[in-house]
Amino acid sequence: MFGSRHNLTMLLSLVAFMSMTPKTLVLVPKETIWVYENASSPADGTFLRAWGVEGKSCPAEGEDAGAFSYSYLKWDFTDLPKTKLLSAKLEFSNIPDPGFTLDIAKKSPLEAREIVGDFSAKTWAFEMAAKVRPASGKNSVYGTGYPKSITPGAPVAISIDLLAGPNLFAKALAQAAGSPSHQFSLSITSALDPSVEGRSCVYKVYGQKESKEYLRPRLVLTFEE
């Protein structure tokens, strides 16, 4: 009798524990754009790039975007859980042997920013960059990230904690999930300046069309079960 009660208690505890296990989703962007005046194929999804100029990662409203380079990413949030968001990471793989060092990258990290306006890979043209642009200012940043190590000949991992702020990613995610389109977009920007550090001192990460799945950009969301 005691053994049966003990086993039942253990079973109920196990069920309760399993019901509280967080649920993690790994989402690859549905479309991306490399925003650069001289980009020949901005919507091909092979590589995403980011660099800035004179200490700035993106232009202010009305400022010329021609000297900057950044990228836009879009996801579909149709089937997201409606429970509390516990963690949100944006993960990239930079190409091997980058032109930046760890110290340079730490000073000018990769930024995840809010976007003003909306974009479509099918209709994109650089002339749209004046209206569809990264929101400028520090308060528009969801989070930043830089490599923790660089190994010669190997892709360089970069992870951005989107809940670090100051911009409120969880609020933006909820608004997108509850909208009629369920679409969510953000930009990646950086103040890395190749005119100062050298032409190869840019972020160049693999896009969603990369043949090796583990190198593609990933949005990793963890929710309460």
User: What is the mean pLDDT of the segment spanning 153-182?
Assistant: 97
Which residues are within 8 A (CB) of 103 and not within 5 positions of it... i.e. 6 or more apart? none
Domain assignment present for 11 = no
Task: Answer whether residue 162 shows pLDDT above 90.
Answer: yes
Which DSSP symbol is given to 114?
-
Domain assignment present for 174 = yes
User: What is the mean pLDDT of the segment spanning 60-66?
Assistant: 90
User: What is the mean pLDDT of the segment spanning 189-193?
Assistant: 97
What is the Cα–Cα distance from 68 to 190, expressed in whole angstroms? 9
Domain assignment present for 10 = no
* CATH code for position 202: 2.60.120
Domain assignment present for 199 = yes
Domain assignment present for 86 = yes
pLDDT, tens digit, 9 for 90 and up, residues 100-148: 999 999 999 999 999 999 999 999 999 999 999 999 999 999 999 999 9
Domain assignment present for 121 = yes
Domain assignment present for 6 = no
| Pure H helices in 46-205 | 102-107, 169-177, 194-197
* 21 and 224 Cβ atoms separated by less than 8 Å: no
As beta bridge partners, residue 133 has 116
pLDDT, tens digit, 9 for 90 and up, residues 28-44: 999 999 999 999 999 99
Domain count, the chain: 1
Domain assignment present for 116 = yes
Which residues are within 8 A (CB) of 163 and not within 5 positions of it... i.e. 6 or more apart? 85, 87, 88, 142, 143, 169, 170
For the CA atoms of 92, 28, 166, 129, the dihedral, rounded to the nearest 10 degrees, stands at 90
Which DSSP symbol is given to 148?
S
Domain containing residue 139 = 22-223
